[in-house]
A and B are shown apart, each in its own frame.
Chain A
Amino acid sequence: MHKRNFHTQIDFMNRQVYNKIFTGTSIIAVILCCIILFFLLGVIFWNGFSAISFDFIFSPSSNFGAEGGIIYQIAGSLLLVLVSGLISFPIALGAAIFKSEYIKSKRWSKISSMLIYGLNAIPSVIYGIFGLIFFVNFLGTGISWFVGSIILAIMILPTIIFSAYQSINSVPTSFRESSLALGFTKWQMIYKVLLPQGINGAITGLLIGLARAIGETAPIMFIATAFSGVELPGSLLEPVASLPTHILALAQQATNTDALENAWGASLILILLVISFSLSALFLRLKTKKH
């Protein structure tokens, strides 16, 4: 009897010790993560703010990016992603409606989900080499910003489809049934009932997609961009300058301190663009939730 009590006592103490070790480990993990977080954001913002100025943002680059600003890189990046959004949005919306309203069997619904997950998982550099083979060489477009937009459009397709699908699919079935009972055709039902409800989800997806697209380097670096001497493209088949490829070129001459400083400046601007797209998506999502 006495012995058993002694053992429970030990067990109890062991349990307490394990609990403390466990909680301690979690807290250490969190602290490590916080250090990493503050380091990353600190480095980007600290180095970035000391590198940017009004002149830096609004003047063209010179001397291989080591001097001057990044106005054409900003314009080029915005052009690339906005056009990619224009291409991707209608296709994604249609595909989302198809998945939600026209696919009946569970099996096809699963297959379509797998296709979306697959498209979403393809490494970005694979999109780049696909564009290089199919558009630049096979179709003979050469280095072209428009091809870059098409490739980015393909890349953000799954993001928009998924977000649009979720919001369209979440419209209650009774809405569909009552509008069909009123004599709407299926398309009228989709257009007048589902779309007004689902459009916010699609736009949220678009903004998330744009936030991702504007930071991508690998898909566009072989097919759409040129480093120096590029201003705004005059036709669809000309290269463009972009922020991520500009940072890449500057990072490769990292021993040159001027180049490195401009790389930090360009990085800050790029991150601010990413954040403004994601924040718009966040606000839209919160606004939709409130209704």
Chain B
Amino acid sequence: MSVLSNKIGKSYVMTSALISAAVVLLISITLLINSWDAITNVGWGLFSFNWNPSTQEFGILPMIYGTIAVTLIALVIAVPLGIFTAIFTSEILPTKYRLSIKSILELLAGIPSIIYGLIGIAFFSIWVQDIFDLQSGRTILTAGILLGIMILPTVITLTDDALQNVPSSYREASKGLGLYKYEVIKNSILPIAKSDIIGAILLAFGRALGETMAVMLVIGSIDKIPDSIFNWLNPGQTITSKLGREIAESSYGSTHFSTMIFMGLILFVFVLLLTFFAQKKLSHSNRLYE
């Protein structure tokens, strides 16, 4: 009996592990097969500037540009703000407040992205419209700002963890040398936590790339690169917002559909690569200080 249960138990856990691994494989294969039509039929035409399914023009560069621009704005906002806030919560704030800060950050990180989108539509886009005197406040800049706020909790939490991983003996030793807090942080804590912080930024980068709902609602959804590429007060389109808006309208099996899946594949590969680099950065330092 116990031999039998041993066998059943083993096959149960092995099946579960296999299912989990198979899912990753299945998703990759599904994306690859369905984007094949676009790769063979459209080929290099994918990397052009015009998107117009009715004339069989499938240039995805506007979406790639939009994705990069929005993510860049988000990182420019979230990284400095997040790192300085994490330095405050980890190095300046007394330890007894840490648990409540952590809980609040988790609460913020848990706000569903559709609600950020609603806030973006009801407030941010209207502010942008009024401040810059635009016809419509749904712009690349609006999406970038909203996205920056969304990834802020990720940056703060992970940077805070990175700083906390630095043993306190380093702080005490540098303080003992008569250094100011600024010098302690700059010269001994940040260099040690650097790798972890880079990992944190890469993870936040990955999250920003894949964010859909909030961006989709406020970016304006125009498949065009603005005349000047830094004119972020124009509407744009990201890969995710394109997928969210158009995938249901394109018919399964068409080149149009396949091109959309190809964009999904690019996003998928890029986010996975980022995650692996991030984990390398993170695990490296974990091994060092454990």
Q: Which residues of A contact B210 (CB under 8 A)?
A: 121-126
- CB under 8 Å from chain A, chain B span 109-124: 110-115, 117-119, 121-123
Nearest-neighbour CB distance to chain A for B68, whole angstroms, equals 15
A98–B217 CA distance with the chains assembled, in angstroms: 42
Knowing A133-B34, A244-B112, A251-B217, say if A94 contacts B15 (CB, 8 Å): yes
Q: Which residues of A contact B5 (CB under 8 A)?
A: 185, 187-188, 191
Task: Name the residue of chain B whose CB is nearest to the CB of A130.
Answer: B27
Complex partner residue of B24 from A44, A118, A278, CB under 8 angstroms: A118
A33–B12 CA distance with the chains assembled, in angstroms: 47
Interface check A144, CB cutoff 8 A: no
In the complex, per-residue mask of B194-229: 1 if CB is within 8 Å of any chain A CB, else 0: 000000000100100111110001000000000000
Interface check B264, CB cutoff 8 A: yes
A264–B107 CA distance with the chains assembled, in angstroms: 18
Q: How many A-B residue pairs have CB under 8 A?
A: 250
A94–B9 CA distance with the chains assembled, in angstroms: 9
Contact A278 B110, beta carbon cutoff 8 Å: yes
Task: Name the residue of chain B whose CB is nearest to the CB of A212.
Answer: B110
Binding site secondary structure of chain A: helix
In the complex, per-residue mask of B232-275: 1 if CB is within 8 Å of any chain A CB, else 0: 00000000100110011000110000001100100110011011
Classify chain A's interface size: 35 or more
Q: Kindly name the residue among A101, A114, A218 whose own CB sees the greatest number of chain B CB atoms within 10 A.
A: A218
**Segment of A21-29, A64-72, A197-205, A229-237 in the binding face:** A21-29
- CB under 8 Å from chain A, chain B span 166-200: 180-183, 185-186
Knowing A95-B17, A275-B107, say if A18 contacts B182 (CB, 8 Å): yes
Interface check B10, CB cutoff 8 A: yes
Q: Which residues of B contact A124 (CB under 8 A)?
A: 210, 212
- CB under 8 Å from chain A, chain B span 80-115: 80-81, 84-85, 87-89, 92, 103-104, 106-108, 110-115
Contact B107 A114, beta carbon cutoff 8 Å: no
Q: Which residues of B contact A138 (CB under 8 A)?
A: 30
A176–B212 CA distance with the chains assembled, in angstroms: 45
Knowing A121-B275, A123-B211, say if A43 contacts B31 (CB, 8 Å): no
A274–B121 CA distance with the chains assembled, in angstroms: 22
Interface check B279, CB cutoff 8 A: yes
Contact A33 B110, beta carbon cutoff 8 Å: no
Interface check B149, CB cutoff 8 A: yes
Nearest-neighbour CB distance to chain B for A77, whole angstroms, equals 11
Q: Which residues of B contact A37 (CB under 8 A)?
A: 104, 108
Nearest-neighbour CB distance to chain A for B33, whole angstroms, equals 9
Task: Name the residue of chain B whose CB is nearest to the CB of A187.
Answer: B9
A95–B17 CA distance with the chains assembled, in angstroms: 4
Contact A278 B87, beta carbon cutoff 8 Å: no
Show 17 residue pairs from A and B whose CB-CB distance is below 8 angstroms, ordered by the A residue. Answer: A19-B180, A21-B182, A29-B81, A32-B81, A40-B108, A99-B17, A121-B271, A121-B272, A125-B212, A129-B261, A130-B26, A133-B252, A217-B114, A251-B118, A254-B122, A270-B112, A278-B110
Interface residues of B (CB under 8 A from A): 2-3, 5-6, 8-10, 12-17, 19-21, 23-24, 26-27, 30-31, 34, 80-81, 84-85, 87-89, 92, 103-104, 106-108, 110-115, 117-119, 121-123, 149, 152, 156, 180-183, 185-186, 203, 206, 209-213, 217, 240, 243-244, 247-248, 252-253, 260-261, 264, 267-268, 271-272, 274-276, 279
Interface residues of A (CB under 8 A from B): 15-16, 18-19, 21-23, 25-30, 32-33, 36-37, 40-41, 43-44, 90-95, 97-99, 101-102, 112-130, 132-134, 137-138, 154, 157, 161, 185-188, 190-191, 211-212, 214-218, 221-222, 244, 247-248, 251-252, 254, 260, 263-264, 267, 270-271, 274-275, 278, 282
